[in-house]
Structure 1
Amino acid sequence: MVLLVLLAGTFLFPMIYRALVPVELPSAEEQLAVLKFAMANQPKEEKDGKKRIFSPSAGSEKRKSVLFYFDPNVIDLNDWQKLGLSEKQAQAILNYRSKGGVFRKKADLKKMYTLSPQLYKVLEPYVVISGIDPEPAQKGEVKFKEQIVIPKDIKIIELNGADTLQLDEIRGVGRVFARRIVAYRERVGGFHKKEQLKEVFGIDSLKYEEIKNQVIVDPGKLKKININTAALADFKNHPYIRHKQVNAVIEYRKQHGNYSNIADLNKVAILTPEIIGRLAPYLTF
Protein backbone atom coordinates (compact mmCIF):
# COMPACT_ATOMS: atom_id res chain seq x y z
CA MET A 1 0.00 0.00 0.00
CA VAL A 2 2.80 2.35 0.94
CA LEU A 3 4.55 1.42 -2.29
CA LEU A 4 1.49 2.34 -4.35
CA VAL A 5 1.23 5.74 -2.64
CA LEU A 6 4.89 6.46 -3.39
CA LEU A 7 4.54 5.49 -7.06
CA ALA A 8 1.43 7.64 -7.46
CA GLY A 9 3.23 10.58 -5.91
CA THR A 10 6.18 10.19 -8.30
CA PHE A 11 3.95 10.47 -11.39
CA LEU A 12 1.51 13.05 -10.09
CA PHE A 13 3.92 15.54 -8.52
CA PRO A 14 5.36 16.99 -11.78
CA MET A 15 1.83 17.44 -13.18
CA ILE A 16 0.61 19.18 -10.01
CA TYR A 17 3.77 21.36 -9.96
CA ARG A 18 3.32 22.52 -13.61
CA ALA A 19 -0.34 23.30 -12.87
CA LEU A 20 0.42 25.37 -9.77
CA VAL A 21 3.69 27.06 -10.96
CA PRO A 22 3.32 28.82 -14.34
CA VAL A 23 6.08 28.33 -16.97
CA GLU A 24 8.18 31.50 -17.41
CA LEU A 25 8.28 32.40 -21.12
CA PRO A 26 11.21 34.40 -22.71
CA SER A 27 10.74 38.16 -22.63
CA ALA A 28 10.16 40.16 -25.79
CA GLU A 29 13.74 41.45 -25.63
CA GLU A 30 15.11 37.91 -25.37
CA GLN A 31 13.01 36.73 -28.32
CA LEU A 32 14.24 39.69 -30.44
CA ALA A 33 17.88 38.91 -29.57
CA VAL A 34 17.44 35.29 -30.67
CA LEU A 35 15.84 36.40 -33.94
CA LYS A 36 18.70 38.81 -34.71
CA PHE A 37 21.26 36.11 -34.01
CA ALA A 38 19.51 33.70 -36.39
CA MET A 39 19.32 36.34 -39.16
CA ALA A 40 22.98 37.26 -38.76
CA ASN A 41 24.04 33.65 -39.31
CA GLN A 42 21.90 33.04 -42.41
CA PRO A 43 23.72 32.61 -45.78
CA LYS A 44 23.68 35.79 -47.86
CA GLU A 45 21.53 34.24 -50.57
CA GLU A 46 18.84 33.31 -48.00
CA LYS A 47 18.85 36.83 -46.51
CA ASP A 48 18.11 38.22 -49.96
CA GLY A 49 15.23 35.78 -50.38
CA LYS A 50 17.16 33.74 -52.95
CA LYS A 51 17.54 30.03 -52.74
CA ARG A 52 21.10 28.75 -52.66
CA ILE A 53 21.72 26.58 -55.71
CA PHE A 54 24.77 24.41 -56.15
CA SER A 55 26.59 24.83 -59.42
CA PRO A 56 29.48 22.68 -60.61
CA SER A 57 31.22 25.85 -61.73
CA ALA A 58 30.69 27.69 -58.47
CA GLY A 59 33.94 29.02 -57.12
CA SER A 60 35.80 28.31 -60.33
CA GLU A 61 37.89 31.12 -61.75
CA LYS A 62 37.01 32.92 -64.94
CA ARG A 63 39.10 31.93 -67.92
CA LYS A 64 42.00 34.36 -68.12
CA SER A 65 42.88 35.90 -71.49
CA VAL A 66 46.45 36.16 -72.72
CA LEU A 67 47.44 39.19 -74.78
CA PHE A 68 49.91 38.74 -77.62
CA TYR A 69 50.56 40.23 -81.04
CA PHE A 70 48.39 38.55 -83.67
CA ASP A 71 47.25 38.76 -87.27
CA PRO A 72 43.42 38.40 -87.37
CA ASN A 73 43.68 36.95 -90.88
CA VAL A 74 45.84 34.05 -89.68
CA ILE A 75 45.20 32.95 -86.09
CA ASP A 76 43.06 29.90 -85.35
CA LEU A 77 40.17 29.12 -83.00
CA ASN A 78 42.43 28.33 -80.06
CA ASP A 79 44.32 31.62 -80.37
CA TRP A 80 41.10 33.64 -80.49
CA GLN A 81 39.99 31.93 -77.29
CA LYS A 82 43.32 32.73 -75.65
CA LEU A 83 42.62 36.38 -76.42
CA GLY A 84 39.40 36.19 -74.43
CA LEU A 85 36.72 35.22 -76.98
CA SER A 86 34.31 32.38 -76.40
CA GLU A 87 34.32 29.44 -78.81
CA LYS A 88 31.13 30.74 -80.44
CA GLN A 89 32.56 34.24 -80.90
CA ALA A 90 35.80 32.90 -82.33
CA GLN A 91 33.98 30.57 -84.73
CA ALA A 92 31.95 33.49 -86.09
CA ILE A 93 35.18 35.26 -87.07
CA LEU A 94 36.57 32.11 -88.67
CA ASN A 95 33.32 31.72 -90.64
CA TYR A 96 33.71 35.30 -91.86
CA ARG A 97 37.23 34.52 -93.06
CA SER A 98 36.20 31.22 -94.70
CA LYS A 99 33.71 33.14 -96.85
CA GLY A 100 36.44 35.44 -98.17
CA GLY A 101 36.38 38.08 -95.45
CA VAL A 102 39.68 39.91 -94.93
CA PHE A 103 40.81 42.32 -92.23
CA ARG A 104 42.69 45.06 -94.08
CA LYS A 105 43.16 47.36 -91.12
CA LYS A 106 42.73 47.16 -87.36
CA ALA A 107 39.40 48.99 -87.39
CA ASP A 108 37.86 46.22 -89.52
CA LEU A 109 37.63 44.13 -86.36
CA LYS A 110 35.01 46.57 -85.09
CA LYS A 111 32.65 45.26 -87.77
CA MET A 112 32.52 41.86 -86.10
CA TYR A 113 29.33 41.83 -84.03
CA THR A 114 30.82 39.15 -81.76
CA LEU A 115 33.57 41.52 -80.62
CA SER A 116 32.46 44.04 -78.01
CA PRO A 117 33.82 47.62 -78.15
CA GLN A 118 35.48 47.01 -74.78
CA LEU A 119 37.32 43.90 -75.98
CA TYR A 120 38.33 45.60 -79.23
CA LYS A 121 39.87 48.45 -77.24
CA VAL A 122 41.97 45.93 -75.31
CA LEU A 123 43.06 43.97 -78.41
CA GLU A 124 43.65 46.87 -80.81
CA PRO A 125 47.28 47.62 -79.78
CA TYR A 126 48.20 43.97 -80.41
CA VAL A 127 46.81 43.68 -83.96
CA VAL A 128 49.50 43.19 -86.62
CA ILE A 129 48.20 42.91 -90.18
CA SER A 130 50.84 42.02 -92.74
CA GLY A 131 50.73 41.82 -96.50
CA ILE A 132 47.55 43.87 -96.99
CA ASP A 133 47.47 46.99 -99.10
CA PRO A 134 45.46 49.94 -97.75
CA GLU A 135 41.73 49.59 -98.33
CA PRO A 136 40.61 51.64 -101.36
CA ALA A 137 38.39 54.63 -100.80
CA GLN A 138 34.67 53.99 -100.84
CA LYS A 139 32.54 55.59 -103.50
CA GLY A 140 32.25 59.30 -102.84
CA GLU A 141 34.95 59.21 -100.14
CA VAL A 142 38.07 61.30 -100.62
CA LYS A 143 41.30 60.18 -99.04
CA PHE A 144 44.01 62.79 -99.32
CA LYS A 145 46.90 60.33 -99.41
CA GLU A 146 45.39 58.51 -102.38
CA GLN A 147 45.14 61.65 -104.48
CA ILE A 148 48.90 61.82 -105.13
CA VAL A 149 49.49 61.68 -108.88
CA ILE A 150 52.53 59.69 -110.02
CA PRO A 151 53.97 60.75 -113.40
CA LYS A 152 53.67 58.09 -116.10
CA ASP A 153 57.42 57.93 -116.62
CA ILE A 154 58.01 56.80 -113.02
CA LYS A 155 58.37 53.07 -112.50
CA ILE A 156 56.85 51.23 -109.59
CA ILE A 157 59.49 48.98 -108.02
CA GLU A 158 58.80 45.89 -105.92
CA LEU A 159 61.16 46.14 -102.96
CA ASN A 160 61.75 42.46 -102.20
CA GLY A 161 62.70 41.41 -105.72
CA ALA A 162 64.59 44.44 -107.01
CA ASP A 163 68.37 44.58 -107.32
CA THR A 164 70.45 47.70 -106.75
CA LEU A 165 70.14 48.80 -110.40
CA GLN A 166 66.35 48.64 -110.28
CA LEU A 167 66.22 50.43 -106.93
CA ASP A 168 68.46 53.12 -108.37
CA GLU A 169 65.65 53.92 -110.81
CA ILE A 170 63.50 55.17 -107.92
CA ARG A 171 63.58 58.95 -107.85
CA GLY A 172 65.29 60.10 -104.69
CA VAL A 173 67.14 56.83 -104.01
CA GLY A 174 70.41 56.74 -105.91
CA ARG A 175 73.20 54.18 -105.71
CA VAL A 176 74.09 54.68 -102.06
CA PHE A 177 70.54 54.23 -100.77
CA ALA A 178 69.96 51.36 -103.22
CA ARG A 179 72.88 49.44 -101.69
CA ARG A 180 71.69 50.24 -98.17
CA ILE A 181 68.14 49.06 -98.94
CA VAL A 182 69.41 45.73 -100.32
CA ALA A 183 71.78 45.24 -97.37
CA TYR A 184 69.02 45.91 -94.83
CA ARG A 185 66.56 43.72 -96.77
CA GLU A 186 68.99 40.81 -96.52
CA ARG A 187 69.44 41.34 -92.77
CA VAL A 188 65.74 41.51 -91.94
CA GLY A 189 64.53 38.89 -94.43
CA GLY A 190 62.60 41.22 -96.73
CA PHE A 191 60.05 43.98 -96.25
CA HIS A 192 56.51 43.09 -95.18
CA LYS A 193 55.44 46.75 -95.40
CA LYS A 194 56.99 49.72 -97.16
CA GLU A 195 57.20 51.74 -93.92
CA GLN A 196 60.19 49.61 -92.99
CA LEU A 197 62.23 51.68 -95.40
CA LYS A 198 62.49 54.24 -92.59
CA GLU A 199 64.60 51.69 -90.71
CA VAL A 200 67.27 51.92 -93.41
CA PHE A 201 70.13 54.18 -92.34
CA GLY A 202 69.70 57.66 -93.78
CA ILE A 203 66.07 57.33 -94.88
CA ASP A 204 64.18 59.79 -92.69
CA SER A 205 60.51 60.75 -92.88
CA LEU A 206 61.11 63.30 -95.65
CA LYS A 207 63.04 60.86 -97.82
CA TYR A 208 60.40 58.18 -97.21
CA GLU A 209 57.61 60.52 -98.32
CA GLU A 210 59.58 61.18 -101.50
CA ILE A 211 59.88 57.53 -102.51
CA LYS A 212 56.98 55.67 -100.87
CA ASN A 213 54.62 56.02 -103.85
CA GLN A 214 57.19 54.55 -106.21
CA VAL A 215 57.46 51.22 -104.40
CA ILE A 216 55.29 48.24 -103.54
CA VAL A 217 55.89 45.19 -101.34
CA ASP A 218 55.29 41.51 -102.05
CA PRO A 219 55.19 39.81 -98.60
CA GLY A 220 55.24 36.43 -100.32
CA LYS A 221 58.96 36.94 -100.89
CA LEU A 222 59.82 37.19 -97.20
CA LYS A 223 62.51 34.83 -95.95
CA LYS A 224 60.85 33.19 -92.98
CA ILE A 225 62.50 31.27 -90.17
CA ASN A 226 61.04 28.15 -88.59
CA ILE A 227 61.34 28.95 -84.90
CA ASN A 228 61.23 25.25 -83.97
CA THR A 229 64.31 24.33 -86.02
CA ALA A 230 66.19 27.65 -85.99
CA ALA A 231 69.77 27.88 -84.83
CA LEU A 232 71.76 30.94 -83.74
CA ALA A 233 73.12 31.37 -87.27
CA ASP A 234 69.61 31.78 -88.71
CA PHE A 235 69.22 35.06 -86.83
CA LYS A 236 72.75 36.32 -87.46
CA ASN A 237 72.77 40.14 -87.71
CA HIS A 238 68.94 40.25 -87.61
CA PRO A 239 67.98 43.83 -86.65
CA TYR A 240 64.97 42.81 -84.54
CA ILE A 241 66.58 40.38 -82.09
CA ARG A 242 69.93 40.09 -80.32
CA HIS A 243 72.20 37.08 -79.89
CA LYS A 244 71.32 36.75 -76.19
CA GLN A 245 67.59 36.76 -76.96
CA VAL A 246 67.95 34.16 -79.73
CA ASN A 247 69.86 31.94 -77.33
CA ALA A 248 67.06 32.26 -74.76
CA VAL A 249 64.48 31.26 -77.39
CA ILE A 250 66.46 28.17 -78.34
CA GLU A 251 67.13 27.13 -74.73
CA TYR A 252 63.45 27.49 -73.81
CA ARG A 253 62.54 25.31 -76.79
CA LYS A 254 65.00 22.63 -75.69
CA GLN A 255 63.55 22.58 -72.17
CA HIS A 256 59.82 22.87 -72.95
CA GLY A 257 59.39 21.58 -76.50
CA ASN A 258 58.34 23.25 -79.74
CA TYR A 259 56.43 26.52 -79.96
CA SER A 260 52.93 26.10 -81.37
CA ASN A 261 52.19 29.75 -82.21
CA ILE A 262 53.45 33.30 -81.80
CA ALA A 263 51.79 33.56 -78.38
CA ASP A 264 54.15 30.93 -76.98
CA LEU A 265 57.08 33.34 -77.37
CA ASN A 266 55.58 35.42 -74.55
CA LYS A 267 56.78 32.62 -72.24
CA VAL A 268 60.39 33.58 -72.95
CA ALA A 269 60.95 36.20 -70.27
CA ILE A 270 63.69 38.03 -72.13
CA LEU A 271 61.43 38.84 -75.10
CA THR A 272 59.25 41.94 -74.96
CA PRO A 273 55.87 42.26 -76.75
CA GLU A 274 57.50 44.80 -79.10
CA ILE A 275 60.21 42.34 -80.17
CA ILE A 276 57.67 39.56 -80.68
CA GLY A 277 55.43 41.83 -82.73
CA ARG A 278 58.25 42.86 -85.06
CA LEU A 279 59.42 39.27 -85.52
CA ALA A 280 55.93 37.81 -86.09
CA PRO A 281 55.81 38.25 -89.92
CA TYR A 282 59.15 36.45 -90.26
CA LEU A 283 58.44 33.31 -88.24
CA THR A 284 56.82 29.97 -89.00
CA PHE A 285 55.92 27.15 -86.59
Structure 2
Amino acid sequence: MWKDLLTLTRGEQRGMAILLVVLFLLILLRINMHHFYPTADFSAIVSDSLIASQLESFPGDVAATSAPQLHNLEPFNPNEPDPEQLRSFGVPANIASNWVKYIQAGGSFKVADDLRKLYGMSEELLEILIPYVDIPQKSSPEARRQFTPAFVDLNRCDSLELASFGWTGQMMDSVMLWRLDSWFPTRYSEHILVDWNMDSIAALRLSMQKKYKSKDGYRDVIIAVNSADAEEWKLLKGIGEVLSERIVAYRNLLGGFVSIDQVAEVYGISPVLFGDIKSQLRLDSVPLRQIKVNYASVAKLRKHPYFDFYSASELVNTRRQKGYFTSLEEIDSLKLFDDERWGLLRQYLEID
Protein backbone atom coordinates (compact mmCIF):
# COMPACT_ATOMS: atom_id res chain seq x y z
CA MET A 1 0.00 0.00 0.00
CA TRP A 2 2.77 2.48 0.92
CA LYS A 3 4.49 1.71 -2.33
CA ASP A 4 1.37 2.73 -4.25
CA LEU A 5 1.15 6.02 -2.36
CA LEU A 6 4.79 6.98 -2.98
CA THR A 7 4.86 5.98 -6.64
CA LEU A 8 4.45 8.89 -9.14
CA THR A 9 2.91 8.52 -12.54
CA ARG A 10 4.76 9.69 -15.65
CA GLY A 11 2.68 12.91 -15.82
CA GLU A 12 3.34 13.67 -12.13
CA GLN A 13 7.06 13.12 -12.62
CA ARG A 14 7.07 15.55 -15.58
CA GLY A 15 5.19 18.20 -13.51
CA MET A 16 7.62 17.83 -10.62
CA ALA A 17 10.59 18.37 -12.93
CA ILE A 18 9.05 21.55 -14.40
CA LEU A 19 8.34 22.95 -10.89
CA LEU A 20 11.95 22.37 -9.83
CA VAL A 21 13.23 24.19 -12.92
CA VAL A 22 10.97 27.21 -12.25
CA LEU A 23 12.10 27.41 -8.62
CA PHE A 24 15.76 27.29 -9.73
CA LEU A 25 15.21 30.15 -12.19
CA LEU A 26 13.47 32.32 -9.56
CA ILE A 27 16.35 31.80 -7.10
CA LEU A 28 18.86 32.67 -9.81
CA LEU A 29 16.89 35.86 -10.70
CA ARG A 30 16.83 36.98 -7.07
CA ILE A 31 20.57 36.55 -6.70
CA ASN A 32 21.32 38.66 -9.78
CA MET A 33 18.64 41.34 -9.12
CA HIS A 34 21.20 44.10 -8.47
CA HIS A 35 22.43 43.78 -12.05
CA PHE A 36 19.00 44.78 -13.40
CA TYR A 37 18.01 47.46 -10.78
CA PRO A 38 21.01 49.46 -9.55
CA THR A 39 20.79 50.98 -6.04
CA ALA A 40 19.22 54.48 -6.02
CA ASP A 41 21.39 57.41 -5.04
CA PHE A 42 19.66 59.40 -2.29
CA SER A 43 22.49 61.84 -1.81
CA ALA A 44 20.78 64.48 -3.99
CA ILE A 45 17.60 64.31 -1.94
CA VAL A 46 19.52 64.55 1.32
CA SER A 47 21.51 67.50 0.05
CA ASP A 48 18.32 69.31 -1.08
CA SER A 49 16.80 68.78 2.36
CA LEU A 50 19.86 70.18 4.01
CA ILE A 51 19.80 73.22 1.74
CA ALA A 52 16.09 73.78 2.48
CA SER A 53 16.67 73.59 6.22
CA GLN A 54 19.56 75.98 5.95
CA LEU A 55 17.48 78.45 3.92
CA GLU A 56 14.82 78.48 6.61
CA SER A 57 17.45 79.60 9.11
CA PHE A 58 18.17 82.76 7.06
CA PRO A 59 15.67 85.56 7.82
CA GLY A 60 16.59 87.64 4.81
CA ASP A 61 15.17 87.93 1.31
CA VAL A 62 15.22 84.17 0.72
CA ALA A 63 12.60 83.48 3.40
CA ALA A 64 10.52 86.42 2.22
CA THR A 65 10.08 84.87 -1.20
CA SER A 66 7.99 82.02 0.30
CA ALA A 67 5.47 84.38 1.99
CA PRO A 68 2.08 84.77 0.25
CA GLN A 69 1.83 87.78 -2.01
CA LEU A 70 -1.68 89.29 -1.92
CA HIS A 71 -2.85 92.47 -3.61
CA ASN A 72 -6.02 94.47 -4.33
CA LEU A 73 -7.38 93.57 -0.89
CA GLU A 74 -10.65 95.13 0.24
CA PRO A 75 -13.30 94.29 2.87
CA PHE A 76 -15.22 91.11 1.97
CA ASN A 77 -17.74 88.70 3.48
CA PRO A 78 -16.11 85.22 3.76
CA ASN A 79 -19.55 83.58 3.86
CA GLU A 80 -20.21 84.79 0.29
CA PRO A 81 -16.98 83.87 -1.50
CA ASP A 82 -16.57 85.11 -5.06
CA PRO A 83 -13.99 83.01 -6.92
CA GLU A 84 -13.09 85.98 -9.14
CA GLN A 85 -12.58 88.23 -6.14
CA LEU A 86 -10.45 85.65 -4.35
CA ARG A 87 -8.38 85.24 -7.49
CA SER A 88 -7.92 89.02 -7.74
CA PHE A 89 -6.71 89.05 -4.13
CA GLY A 90 -4.05 86.52 -5.03
CA VAL A 91 -5.46 83.70 -2.88
CA PRO A 92 -3.99 80.38 -4.11
CA ALA A 93 -6.34 78.46 -6.41
CA ASN A 94 -6.50 75.37 -4.18
CA ILE A 95 -7.49 77.42 -1.11
CA ALA A 96 -10.07 79.40 -3.11
CA SER A 97 -11.58 76.14 -4.37
CA ASN A 98 -11.73 74.67 -0.84
CA TRP A 99 -13.29 77.93 0.35
CA VAL A 100 -16.16 77.78 -2.15
CA LYS A 101 -16.76 74.06 -1.54
CA TYR A 102 -16.87 74.64 2.23
CA ILE A 103 -19.63 77.26 1.90
CA GLN A 104 -21.57 75.18 -0.64
CA ALA A 105 -21.49 72.23 1.78
CA GLY A 106 -23.26 74.34 4.42
CA GLY A 107 -20.27 75.69 6.35
CA SER A 108 -20.05 79.24 7.63
CA PHE A 109 -17.68 81.62 9.40
CA LYS A 110 -18.91 83.40 12.54
CA VAL A 111 -15.66 85.24 13.26
CA ALA A 112 -12.65 86.08 11.12
CA ASP A 113 -10.43 83.57 12.92
CA ASP A 114 -12.69 80.76 11.66
CA LEU A 115 -10.89 81.02 8.29
CA ARG A 116 -8.29 78.70 9.72
CA LYS A 117 -10.86 75.91 9.22
CA LEU A 118 -10.06 75.97 5.50
CA TYR A 119 -7.78 73.19 4.34
CA GLY A 120 -4.49 74.68 3.19
CA MET A 121 -4.88 78.01 4.98
CA SER A 122 -1.51 79.04 6.40
CA GLU A 123 -0.93 81.32 9.38
CA GLU A 124 0.81 83.89 7.17
CA LEU A 125 -2.12 84.06 4.75
CA LEU A 126 -4.59 84.19 7.64
CA GLU A 127 -2.85 87.19 9.22
CA ILE A 128 -3.05 89.08 5.94
CA LEU A 129 -6.75 88.34 5.32
CA ILE A 130 -8.18 88.86 8.83
CA PRO A 131 -8.10 92.71 8.78
CA TYR A 132 -10.27 92.68 5.63
CA VAL A 133 -12.88 90.18 6.84
CA ASP A 134 -16.32 91.81 7.20
CA ILE A 135 -18.98 89.44 8.59
CA PRO A 136 -22.43 91.10 8.93
CA GLN A 137 -23.75 90.74 12.45
CA LYS A 138 -27.20 89.19 12.80
CA SER A 139 -29.67 91.20 14.81
CA SER A 140 -30.50 89.94 18.29
CA PRO A 141 -33.95 88.55 19.14
CA GLU A 142 -34.61 91.70 21.16
CA ALA A 143 -33.80 93.91 18.17
CA ARG A 144 -36.00 91.82 15.88
CA ARG A 145 -38.89 92.07 18.31
CA GLN A 146 -38.39 95.83 18.49
CA PHE A 147 -39.04 96.16 14.77
CA THR A 148 -41.90 93.67 14.58
CA PRO A 149 -44.85 95.59 13.13
CA ALA A 150 -48.03 95.86 15.17
CA PHE A 151 -51.28 94.62 13.65
CA VAL A 152 -54.59 96.46 13.86
CA ASP A 153 -58.06 94.93 14.07
CA LEU A 154 -60.33 97.23 12.08
CA ASN A 155 -63.34 95.62 13.76
CA ARG A 156 -62.35 97.13 17.11
CA CYS A 157 -60.24 100.25 16.53
CA ASP A 158 -61.82 103.69 17.07
CA SER A 159 -61.63 106.84 14.96
CA LEU A 160 -58.73 108.28 17.01
CA GLU A 161 -56.55 105.27 16.21
CA LEU A 162 -57.46 105.49 12.53
CA ALA A 163 -56.69 109.20 12.52
CA SER A 164 -53.18 108.43 13.81
CA PHE A 165 -52.51 106.70 10.47
CA GLY A 166 -53.26 109.91 8.60
CA TRP A 167 -56.66 108.76 7.34
CA THR A 168 -59.17 111.31 6.06
CA GLY A 169 -62.63 111.73 7.57
CA GLN A 170 -64.19 109.99 4.57
CA MET A 171 -61.98 106.91 5.04
CA MET A 172 -62.79 106.67 8.76
CA ASP A 173 -66.53 107.16 8.22
CA SER A 174 -66.57 104.44 5.55
CA VAL A 175 -64.94 101.88 7.83
CA MET A 176 -67.23 102.74 10.77
CA LEU A 177 -70.31 102.45 8.55
CA TRP A 178 -69.35 99.20 6.82
CA ARG A 179 -68.56 97.34 10.00
CA LEU A 180 -72.11 97.80 11.29
CA ASP A 181 -73.27 94.89 9.13
CA SER A 182 -69.97 93.34 8.04
CA TRP A 183 -66.63 92.44 9.58
CA PHE A 184 -62.99 92.46 8.47
CA PRO A 185 -61.57 88.92 8.35
CA THR A 186 -57.92 90.03 8.56
CA ARG A 187 -55.79 92.29 10.72
CA TYR A 188 -53.40 94.70 9.00
CA SER A 189 -49.96 95.98 9.97
CA GLU A 190 -49.60 99.63 10.92
CA HIS A 191 -47.03 100.45 8.24
CA ILE A 192 -49.51 99.28 5.56
CA LEU A 193 -52.41 101.29 6.97
CA VAL A 194 -50.33 104.47 6.87
CA ASP A 195 -50.04 104.19 3.07
CA TRP A 196 -53.73 103.54 2.40
CA ASN A 197 -56.06 105.95 0.61
CA MET A 198 -59.76 105.93 -0.29
CA ASP A 199 -59.15 103.54 -3.18
CA SER A 200 -57.53 101.08 -0.77
CA ILE A 201 -60.57 101.28 1.52
CA ALA A 202 -62.95 100.71 -1.40
CA ALA A 203 -61.00 97.61 -2.48
CA LEU A 204 -61.11 96.36 1.11
CA ARG A 205 -64.89 96.39 0.99
CA LEU A 206 -64.82 93.40 -1.36
CA SER A 207 -63.11 91.19 1.25
CA MET A 208 -65.52 91.97 4.09
CA GLN A 209 -67.95 89.30 5.23
CA LYS A 210 -71.54 89.77 6.32
CA LYS A 211 -72.45 89.31 9.94
CA TYR A 212 -75.05 86.67 10.77
CA LYS A 213 -78.45 88.23 11.43
CA SER A 214 -81.91 87.07 12.38
CA LYS A 215 -85.18 88.90 12.87
CA ASP A 216 -84.14 89.69 16.42
CA GLY A 217 -80.70 91.00 15.47
CA TYR A 218 -77.38 89.16 15.45
CA ARG A 219 -77.73 85.44 15.88
CA ASP A 220 -77.23 84.37 19.50
CA VAL A 221 -75.60 80.98 19.00
CA ILE A 222 -74.46 78.74 21.87
CA ILE A 223 -71.88 76.09 20.97
CA ALA A 224 -71.26 72.95 23.03
CA VAL A 225 -67.51 72.64 22.48
CA ASN A 226 -67.29 68.84 22.84
CA SER A 227 -70.26 67.82 20.72
CA ALA A 228 -70.58 70.54 18.05
CA ASP A 229 -69.59 69.50 14.54
CA ALA A 230 -67.84 71.67 11.97
CA GLU A 231 -71.10 73.04 10.57
CA GLU A 232 -72.20 74.26 13.99
CA TRP A 233 -68.85 75.96 14.64
CA LYS A 234 -69.29 77.94 11.41
CA LEU A 235 -72.32 79.68 12.92
CA LEU A 236 -69.97 81.75 15.07
CA LYS A 237 -68.74 85.10 13.80
CA GLY A 238 -65.20 84.75 12.51
CA ILE A 239 -65.23 80.95 12.24
CA GLY A 240 -65.19 79.76 8.65
CA GLU A 241 -64.80 76.37 7.04
CA VAL A 242 -61.05 76.10 7.68
CA LEU A 243 -61.16 77.09 11.36
CA SER A 244 -64.18 74.91 12.07
CA GLU A 245 -62.36 71.86 10.67
CA ARG A 246 -59.25 72.71 12.69
CA ILE A 247 -61.23 72.99 15.93
CA VAL A 248 -62.83 69.57 15.46
CA ALA A 249 -59.49 67.99 14.48
CA TYR A 250 -57.72 69.51 17.48
CA ARG A 251 -60.50 68.34 19.81
CA ASN A 252 -60.06 64.80 18.47
CA LEU A 253 -56.30 64.93 19.05
CA LEU A 254 -56.79 66.09 22.62
CA GLY A 255 -59.44 63.51 23.35
CA GLY A 256 -62.02 66.18 24.17
CA PHE A 257 -61.97 69.65 25.71
CA VAL A 258 -61.72 69.93 29.50
CA SER A 259 -61.71 73.74 29.42
CA ILE A 260 -63.24 76.35 27.13
CA ASP A 261 -59.86 78.12 27.02
CA GLN A 262 -58.41 75.16 25.08
CA VAL A 263 -60.31 76.40 22.02
CA ALA A 264 -57.85 79.31 21.93
CA GLU A 265 -55.01 76.79 21.39
CA VAL A 266 -56.28 76.02 17.89
CA TYR A 267 -53.96 77.42 15.24
CA GLY A 268 -55.52 80.46 13.56
CA ILE A 269 -57.74 81.58 16.46
CA SER A 270 -56.35 84.91 17.60
CA PRO A 271 -56.88 86.31 21.10
CA VAL A 272 -59.25 88.88 19.58
CA LEU A 273 -61.37 86.24 17.85
CA PHE A 274 -61.45 84.03 20.92
CA GLY A 275 -62.55 86.97 23.03
CA ASP A 276 -65.43 87.57 20.60
CA ILE A 277 -66.76 84.01 20.69
CA LYS A 278 -65.91 82.90 24.25
CA SER A 279 -69.26 84.07 25.66
CA GLN A 280 -71.04 81.79 23.16
CA LEU A 281 -69.13 78.64 24.17
CA ARG A 282 -70.31 76.09 26.71
CA LEU A 283 -68.36 73.16 28.14
CA ASP A 284 -70.44 70.02 27.83
CA SER A 285 -69.49 66.85 29.66
CA VAL A 286 -68.46 63.92 27.50
CA PRO A 287 -66.20 60.93 28.25
CA LEU A 288 -62.61 61.88 27.50
CA ARG A 289 -60.45 59.62 25.36
CA GLN A 290 -57.61 58.80 27.74
CA ILE A 291 -54.11 57.42 27.17
CA LYS A 292 -52.94 54.32 29.03
CA VAL A 293 -49.53 55.60 30.04
CA ASN A 294 -48.22 52.19 31.16
CA TYR A 295 -48.61 50.78 27.65
CA ALA A 296 -48.35 53.77 25.32
CA SER A 297 -45.31 54.06 23.07
CA VAL A 298 -43.40 57.26 22.31
CA ALA A 299 -45.19 57.53 18.97
CA LYS A 300 -48.57 57.14 20.69
CA LEU A 301 -47.79 59.84 23.26
CA ARG A 302 -46.43 62.18 20.58
CA LYS A 303 -49.82 62.26 18.87
CA HIS A 304 -51.25 64.17 21.83
CA PRO A 305 -50.74 67.96 21.45
CA TYR A 306 -49.36 68.33 24.98
CA PHE A 307 -46.49 65.86 24.48
CA ASP A 308 -43.30 66.63 22.60
CA PHE A 309 -40.54 64.15 21.74
CA TYR A 310 -38.53 64.91 24.88
CA SER A 311 -41.37 64.49 27.38
CA ALA A 312 -42.71 61.36 25.64
CA SER A 313 -39.25 59.73 25.52
CA GLU A 314 -38.49 60.63 29.13
CA LEU A 315 -41.77 59.14 30.33
CA VAL A 316 -41.29 55.88 28.40
CA ASN A 317 -37.62 55.54 29.47
CA THR A 318 -38.57 56.05 33.15
CA ARG A 319 -41.27 53.40 32.83
CA ARG A 320 -38.80 50.93 31.33
CA GLN A 321 -36.22 51.53 34.07
CA LYS A 322 -38.51 51.66 37.13
CA GLY A 323 -41.54 49.68 36.02
CA TYR A 324 -45.17 50.63 35.60
CA PHE A 325 -46.49 53.85 37.11
CA THR A 326 -48.86 53.34 40.03
CA SER A 327 -50.14 56.93 40.26
CA LEU A 328 -50.20 60.17 38.30
CA GLU A 329 -48.12 61.79 41.05
CA GLU A 330 -45.15 59.68 39.93
CA ILE A 331 -45.40 61.26 36.47
CA ASP A 332 -45.82 64.71 38.01
CA SER A 333 -42.59 64.19 39.98
CA LEU A 334 -40.67 63.94 36.70
CA LYS A 335 -41.37 67.68 36.16
CA LEU A 336 -41.85 67.31 32.43
CA PHE A 337 -44.63 69.92 32.29
CA ASP A 338 -45.42 73.23 33.94
CA ASP A 339 -48.25 73.35 36.47
CA GLU A 340 -50.83 74.78 34.07
CA ARG A 341 -50.15 72.26 31.34
CA TRP A 342 -50.01 69.35 33.79
CA GLY A 343 -53.36 70.37 35.26
CA LEU A 344 -54.91 69.80 31.84
CA LEU A 345 -52.83 66.84 30.69
CA ARG A 346 -53.40 64.67 33.77
CA GLN A 347 -57.08 64.44 32.85
CA TYR A 348 -56.12 62.65 29.62
CA LEU A 349 -53.90 60.04 31.32
CA GLU A 350 -55.04 56.72 32.71
CA ILE A 351 -53.23 54.47 35.19
CA ASP A 352 -54.33 50.84 35.03
Shorter chain as normaliser: what TM range? 0.3 to 0.5
Normalised by the length of structure 1, the TM-score is: 0.43
Q: Which structure has the larger Rg?
A: 2
Normalised by the length of structure 2, the TM-score is: 0.35
Higher RCO (CA < 8 A, seq sep 6+): 1
